Structure formats: C-alpha cells, structure tokens
A and B are shown apart, each in its own frame.
Chain A
C-alpha cells in the first residue's frame, strides 16, 4: 500500500518539477525516489497485510513482483534521459506517465478487489496507448497507438464483461470472497464464463495467440523506448496479473481449461517463434519473441499452486534480458530511421561490449545456460513435467530450438557482417543500464535460489 502511495506521490512530484522548471533534476530524483520505493517495497515483503477493506492485498507475491516492476522502471526511466533529448519540454510528462503506469502495474499485482484490478489495467493501458503514439509526427507511431488503442479497448470491454459476469454470479468484487464462494458447488454458469472472458482479455494483454496480432505492429511502430517498456514491463505485469487472477479466483482449474491453456501456450510459442524467423525489424522480431515467451509463461498456470516463484524468476530473467537488449537497440538505432537488422551489421567490431551484451541477452532469451533465461526455462519445464505435461515440454523445447534461429540471425549480423558506418559514441547511461541489466541476469543464473525462493 505504502509502495503504491509513494509511487503516485513520486509521479505527482514529477509533475511539480515541471512547474518549478527543474527538468534536469527529474530523472535523477525519480531514479533515487524509485530506489527508495524499492526499499519500501522490500520492507513490505515480510509484512503481508490487506488494506482498505481488502482493496489491496500486499504480500510476498505482490511485493516480489512490484520490486521487479520498480527495477524495470528504474532502467526505463534512466534510458529516458537520452531518448527524450529532443523533447525536453515533455520529459516530465513522459516520466510521470511512466510512473503512473508503474502505479497501475503495482495495483494490478496487489489487487484485492476487481475494481482495483480493472482500474490498474486501465491506467496501464491508457499510459501505454499514449506512449505508443507519443511520437506524434510519425505516422507509424500514430498507427501503432491507434491499433493498440482500438484493440486494447476492445479487450478492456471483454474484461469488463467478464468482471460483470463474475459479479453477477458472486455479488461481490472482493477476490477473497469470490474465492471462498467459488468453492461452493452451486454456481451460476456466469462465473466460469466471466473468468474465461477475463482470461481472454488478459491473454490479449500478454499477447498470446490468437490474440497476439497487435503486438508486432504496435512494437514496431512505437518509439523504441516504449517498445522496451511494452515488451518488458507491460508483458510481465500482464502475466503476473493473469497468474494472480487465475490463482486467487479459481483454485482448481478444470482439465478442459488446462487444455485451453496448453493449446494457447503451444500456439503462442510456435506462432511467435516461426513468425520471428523472417523478420527484418529487430523490434518486430522481439515482439514475436515476446509472443513465444508469453506462451512459455503461460505454462506456469498449469501448476498454479506452486509456480509463482518460477513465474517471478522467468519474468525477471526475460525482462532483464529484454532491457539489456533494448538498451543496445536504442543505442544502435538512435540515429537511424528504423530498427532493421542491417543497422546491427558489424557491431561486434564497432562496439564489442554492446555486441557482447546484446549477444548475452539474446542467449538468455534463447535459454542458453548460465544466463537467467536458461534456468527460467528449466524451472518451468521442471514444473510442467511435475504436472505431467511432457508433450507440452517437448514442444516447448522444439520451440526453443527454433528460437535460436532468429536470435542467432542477429548475432550473426553483428559478428560476421562488415559495419556500415563508423563508430558512434555511446552515451554512458546506455552502457550502464545494459551492463547492469545483463549482470543482474547472469547473477540470476548464478544464484537462482535468491529469486526463486522469494515466493
């Protein structure tokens, strides 16, 4: 609760800075503030509590994920400085929106009432719509914003309909109450339908097949930093929320529902990976890669009672790798019109460190050992096999193999092609964020227990 309040306070503070014309100080202050909030969040980790008539449930799950979100936001905010160099007048708006987005995210993982859930997801979505179309003069950005907005609102409608049906069945929005009631035998069919509709709406948010079509287009069109945010923070938030929703409201998942999850998971992995193979735009490629990762993350729903640690681990590994990758992409494509793979030619020669970081993050996403991504997949497979979904694991493995194909396409471009142009200087902040993110990722790999046992 305190975390949420502090985040909102920070957001408003940020807006105030604009008024007092202290733009230069915004980013440092926000980063420091977020670090402080991270500390606050950690302090809440061991004090599970509920606030305001069960509106917010703060516990290990919520503070664990909130911590991850805050860390990701710190990275994203740090990157903002350079990215919005030419939009100095708007920087406070950008930062404030991001912080409110974080607030929405935190609300989503700590909701105790569907109202909080719905408002959280809307804050997140609206912030994203804005950010996606924030490059106002670019037609692509506009298109991305509109596509995301239209489809996102559509999905919101579905979610809302689902919530309504749940309310119709239960007469309450409180998840604990719903969870208790859901154990009683006599339930109107509205409840499962409601759950399914909310589920589908969330599948849209995490971009799972067949609700994934928006992701590549939006990722490609949005400004790169927004893409970074979407593919890391937003995706992670959506998955965590979906997990929490399914976990808190529907203790035992029926076999039919499991089958749906399995099919969606398989479809996401396969479609995501196969489609990524022939992409030229790196952001678009990472969008498809994100779709496939969504499929992987959905696997946690199959052993829902004990996979929260795994999910946190997977999302952390994925998001950190994503941050590292995107900081390199931001660096490389700063002066370019697009993010095509040709821009990466010869990066291994021009800037070996950045190339190495991008390689490492791609390897992590591909699930090569020592990087966090490998352990994430391992734990995931472990639990899926424990829940006796071996076929799913085999398909997941085949998909991992396919994914190597396109991750390596990028690596190959960096190391085997001749550079197109001379070296461009790297802003320190990109270096710093990329290095810290990838170091954290490797640290995750070396000490998996640290995160895994949090939840």
Chain B
C-alpha cells in the first residue's frame, strides 16, 4: 500500500525525498504549461537538477554528475540553442483546440490512474530491503560492469551515436549541386 510519509516523524531522508519529488513534479508541470519555450527549458533544467538530487539521495553520485552534465549541460543547452535559433522565445503559441486539450487531460488522468492503480493493487513488497553492503555503484564498479559485462552494448551505443551523427549530418548538410 501507498504509505503517506508521516511528516511529524519523518526522517531527513524522507523529507528530502518528498521535497525533491515535489520540486520534480511541479517543475515538470511548469515546463509543460509555461507558454514561453525558454521558461519551459529552464523549468526543465530545474526538474533535471532535482532528479539529480534523487540520484544523490540514492547514493549514486557518479550518475548524478553524469546526469547533470548530459541533460542539463548538453541536452538542454541544445534545446535552448535551437529555441534561440528559431527565435521561438515568444509566447505566441496558440493553444490547441479545447477538445484536444481535453483529450490530453483525459488521457493523462487515465494513464496516471491506471498505472497507479495497477501498482497499488499489486501486493506490497514484504520485509526488509536487502542491503548486501557491497559496493555496487561506485565509479569503479560501474566502470567494471560497463566495460566488462556490458562491453558489447557499450560499443554498440557508439554505433547508435555514430548513426545519429551521420543522420544529423545527412539532414543538415547542404548538397553540393552537381556541376
């Protein structure tokens, strides 16, 4: 069952979790609702930072750093550049027709309710969470796993990036007109 954190007796961890969760959800919402794309992007950055906070809370520092670098540092900058490039930092977006928005809200509620209900319906995880005490998320371990066990996917991810790269070049390269 869902257990509402008992704020009166909540531990620091719990309070932090709630706080971060709140920030994450709210900023995510704001990112979607704000009419100015730049604002959206900035809200999203905050949201990503709070997710990084979650990672830290879960004690995976490396991932948190990477997350910040990749998302806030790379992806969101890319977004911002594009927005600037297209000169979209105006609040000129006409809202979708009401029926579409209604549909969006309905489907949001629906999928939310359905998924949450499914998880609520499931039997709760009984007992203590295992804690082996082993190190499993330090850079060292992660590096080992990534480059030993997950060597092939790791290499394959490079193909993915290569493909994306070629693709992007393909899409943006101006053709040399023959002759």
Residues of chain A within 8 A (CB-CB) of B167 are: 97, 126-127, 129-130
- Chain A 98-117 near chain B by CB (<8 Å), digits 1 or 0: 00110110010000010110
Q: Do B121 and A97 touch across chains, with their CB atoms under 8 A apart?
A: no
Question: Could you tell me which A residues sit within 8 Å of B by CB distance?
Answer: 8, 11, 15, 51-53, 55-56, 86-90, 93-94, 96-97, 100-101, 103-104, 107, 113, 115-116, 119-120, 122-123, 126-127, 129-130, 133-134, 136, 188-190, 193
Residues of chain B within 8 A (CB-CB) of A120 are: 156
Identify the 5 closest CB pairs spanning chains A and B, nearest first.
A130-B167, A189-B122, A115-B153, A55-B152, A100-B163
Closest Cβ neighbor of B175 among chain A residues: A89
Q: Do B159 and A100 touch across chains, with their CB atoms under 8 A apart?
A: yes
User: What are 7 A-B contacts with C-beta separation under 8 Å?
Assistant: A55-B152, A90-B173, A115-B150, A130-B170, A130-B171, A136-B171, A188-B123
The binding surface of chain A is classed by DSSP as helix
Q: Do B152 and A51 touch across chains, with their CB atoms under 8 A apart?
A: yes
Q: Do A189 and B175 touch across chains, with their CB atoms under 8 A apart?
A: no
B91 contacts the other chain (CB 8 A): no
Closest Cβ neighbor of B158 among chain A residues: A8
Q: Do A116 and B160 touch across chains, with their CB atoms under 8 A apart?
A: no
Given A56-B152, A134-B171, A189-B119, A126–B164 Cβ distance below 8 Å? yes
Q: How far is the CB of A143 from chain B (nearest CB, A)?
A: 14
Q: Do A188 and B125 touch across chains, with their CB atoms under 8 A apart?
A: yes
Question: Could you tell me which B residues sit within 8 Å of A by CB distance?
Answer: 118-119, 121-123, 125, 148-153, 156-157, 159-160, 162-164, 166-171, 173, 175-176, 178
Task: Determine the distance from Cα of A415 to Cα of B172 in the docked complex, in whole angstroms.
Answer: 43
Instruction: Give me 9 other A-B pairs in contact (C-beta within 8 A), A97-B166, A116-B153, A130-B164 excluded.
Output: A52-B152, A53-B149, A86-B178, A87-B175, A90-B170, A90-B173, A93-B169, A189-B118, A189-B123
Q: Do A88 and B171 touch across chains, with their CB atoms under 8 A apart?
A: no
Q: How far is the CB of A450 from chain B (nearest CB, A)?
A: 32
Task: Determine the distance from Cα of A28 to Cα of B160 in the docked complex, in whole angstroms.
Answer: 25
Q: Do A89 and B176 touch across chains, with their CB atoms under 8 A apart?
A: yes
Q: Do B178 and A97 touch across chains, with their CB atoms under 8 A apart?
A: no
Residues of chain A within 8 A (CB-CB) of B169 are: 93
Partner of A97, one of B125, B157, B163: B163
Closest Cβ neighbor of A133 among chain B residues: B171
Q: Do A127 and B123 touch across chains, with their CB atoms under 8 A apart?
A: no
Closest Cβ neighbor of B151 among chain A residues: A52
Closest Cβ neighbor of B118 among chain A residues: A193
